[in-house]
Structure 1
Amino acid sequence: GTWKTADCKDNEGHPSCTPCKEGQEYTEEKNYLDYCRRCDFCDEEHGLEVEKNCTRTQNTKCRCKANFFCNGSSCDLCEPCITCEHGIIEKCTPTSNTKCKGKESGSNLPWLLCLLVIPIILAIIWVLILLTLKHRTQLQSYGTTQSTSTTKLTLCILFSDVDLSKYITSIAELMTLNQVKEFVRKNGMKEPKMDEIKNNHPQDTAEQKVQLLRNWYQHHGKKGAYDALIKSLPKDIAEKVQDMVQKDITSNDENADFKSENERQSMA
């Protein structure tokens, strides 16, 4: 519950210590820190509430609010419990989601719908095949020109080092705080730096995510950063990031081609 304000002056003496601010700061163990740690904030927008208030010797303890749950060991975000349409097997708890009963089968309606829908789908597929065959010659001619441009773009994204600076904020919006922490931790960021960023923005989790990613990128450098990010992200988020970067690069290439064409026409 204290922090060091001055070193000891005698052999086997004790340093000068100052108590942490009650309800705002804490230290849980004997230490030689020159500061107290900031108390955690239980973010209600993320489904959290205070279980135990912060004291000089113990950090704030958060828990999930009613009708929210978290099944991880460390929860910075609680998910809302699902609502069952056909009855409950197990109620939602702070550590597990609701388990619902399945819809009971008692009607031939689904089979009838399948018998109606399947022929329609097959007809649509057949029409698409016919249209594809009809325009194959035109598509092959057009595809030869387009394939070169597409290949260049694909190689650019896969093998070049994309500058992630302007995408950091957008990438942070796609990820939860837990996902950002796990990513930067696996990629070399130390806990003291993570604590510093958290303490600088104690009630702004969105800014915490941005600063964690920005600090990782600054230390990692441009080379290999895009590849490291994509390989570490969950598949759905990685695909969204790739799509965002690809669209941006495509737009820049199209603008460059348009400008170049205008310049050639002007010279002609």
Structure 2
Amino acid sequence: GTWKTADCKDNEGHPSCTPCKEGQEYTEEKNYLDYCRRCDFCDEEHGLEVEKNCTRTQNTKCRCKANFFCNGSSCDLCEPCITCEHGIIEKCTPTSNTKCKGKESGSNLPWLLCLLVIPIILAIIWVISKSLHKNKEELEEYLKTILKTNFPRLFYFSDVDLSKYITSIAELMTLNQVKEFVRKNGMKEPKMDEIKNNHPQDTAEQKVQLLRNWYQHHGKKGAYDALIKSLPKDIAEKVQDMVQKDITSNDENADFKSENERQS
């Protein structure tokens, strides 16, 4: 519950210590630190509540609020329990989400549809190209437009500049997901602690800074690929949709500008 303010004055002496601020700072063991650790903040907006208040000798202990859960050993954020549409197998607990009865779904159906529809679309394009006598350049552009419109999932962008998407990506991820991702991709604990201490009560900004710092050190090449492969499927699809729509919009604007320049 104290921190060192001055070193020992003789060999048999003890250092001078000052108590930490009650309810704001703490140290849990004997130490030679020249500062107290900052008490954790239980963020109610992220499903947390105080289980034990912070004291000079013990950090704040947080827990999940009712109808929230966290399945990790250290929880900085609790997620809301899901509601089941087709019945419950196991109820939600503070450490596990609700387990729902599933409804049989044809997970392979989208790919089967693709296999059936793509040849039809290509055949239509071939007929149109023959009838309209499109040149090669126009045909390729037409094919690209059709496929982008109907099958955006088939398009993959290997080296996207992620800097403009960092904030939006952070909003899709939980703090635990961001920490796990940057940790697996080389970020050291001291840097993660530094970012946490710089924004102690702002988990949203912590997520942004963690992702931004990872991206700055990783660089553009391969960053999008590393991110998509590490994300849960539902979040990865949302990120792909966001990037796809943005790039498609930019391409359309560029095509419109090019067309205007040709006509002028």
Give the CA deviation at 1:169: 0.3
- Structure 2 vs 1, CA of residues 160 and 49 (structure 1 numbering), >3 Å: closer, same or farther? closer
Give the CA deviation at 1:190: 1.8
Q: Which moved more, 1:65-74 or 1:178-187?
A: 65-74
- Structure 2 vs 1, CA of residues 238 and 69 (structure 1 numbering), >3 Å: closer, same or farther? closer
- Structure 2 vs 1, CA of residues 173 and 132 (structure 1 numbering), >3 Å: closer, same or farther? farther
- Indicate if the aligned counterparts of 2:42 and 2:48 stay in contact, CA closer than 8 A: yes
- Structure 2 vs 1, CA of residues 25 and 86 (structure 1 numbering), >3 Å: closer, same or farther? same
For residues 173-206 of structure 1, what are the alpha-carbon distances to aligned partners after superposition, in whole Å with 9 as ceiling and x for unaligned? 1101110111111112222222222222222211
- Alignment partner, residue 2 of structure 1: 2
Q: Secondary structure at the match of 1:62?
A: strand
- Structure 2 vs 1, CA of residues 82 and 174 (structure 1 numbering), >3 Å: closer, same or farther? closer
- Structure 2 vs 1, CA of residues 239 and 56 (structure 1 numbering), >3 Å: closer, same or farther? same
- In 1, the alpha carbon distance for the partners of 2:114 and 2:231 equals 38
- In 2, the alpha carbon distance for the partners of 1:110 and 1:151 equals 12
Identity %: 93
- What are the ranges of 5 or more consecutive residues in structure 2 without an aligned counterpart? none
Q: Secondary structure at the match of 2:74?
A: coil
- Structure 2 vs 1, CA of residues 39 and 86 (structure 1 numbering), >3 Å: closer, same or farther? same
Q: Secondary structure at the match of 1:113?
A: helix
Q: Secondary structure at the match of 2:228?
A: helix
TM-score by length of 1: 0.70
Q: Secondary structure at the match of 1:134?
A: coil
- In 2, the alpha carbon distance for the partners of 1:107 and 1:149 equals 19
Q: How many residues align?
A: 260
Q: Which moved more, 1:144-153 or 1:227-236?
A: 144-153
- What are the ranges of 5 or more consecutive residues in structure 1 without an aligned counterpart? 154-158
Q: Which residues of 2 match residues 1-268 of structure 1 at below 5 A?
A: 1-8=1-8, 10=10, 14-81=14-81, 92-97=92-97, 142=142, 160-266=158-264
CA RMSD across the alignment: 7.2
- Structure 2 vs 1, CA of residues 130 and 50 (structure 1 numbering), >3 Å: closer, same or farther? farther
Give the CA deviation at 1:258: 1.7
- In 2, the alpha carbon distance for the partners of 1:106 and 1:93 equals 30
- In 1, the alpha carbon distance for the partners of 2:222 and 2:108 equals 56
- Indicate if the aligned counterparts of 2:24 and 2:38 stay in contact, CA closer than 8 A: yes
For residues 244-267 of structure 1, what are the alpha-carbon distances to aligned partners after superposition, in whole Å with 9 as ceiling and x for unaligned? 11221222122122212222222x
- In 1, the alpha carbon distance for the partners of 2:134 and 2:262 equals 36
Give the CA deviation at 1:28: 2.1
Give the CA deviation at 1:93: 3.4
Give the CA deviation at 1:52: 0.8
For residues 205-249 of structure 1, what are the alpha-carbon distances to aligned partners after superposition, in whole Å with 9 as ceiling and x for unaligned? 111111111111122222322222122111221122122112212
TM-score by length of 2: 0.71
- In 2, the alpha carbon distance for the partners of 1:96 and 1:181 equals 19
Q: Secondary structure at the match of 2:62?
A: strand
Q: Secondary structure at the match of 1:17?
A: strand
- In 2, the alpha carbon distance for the partners of 1:227 and 1:114 equals 23
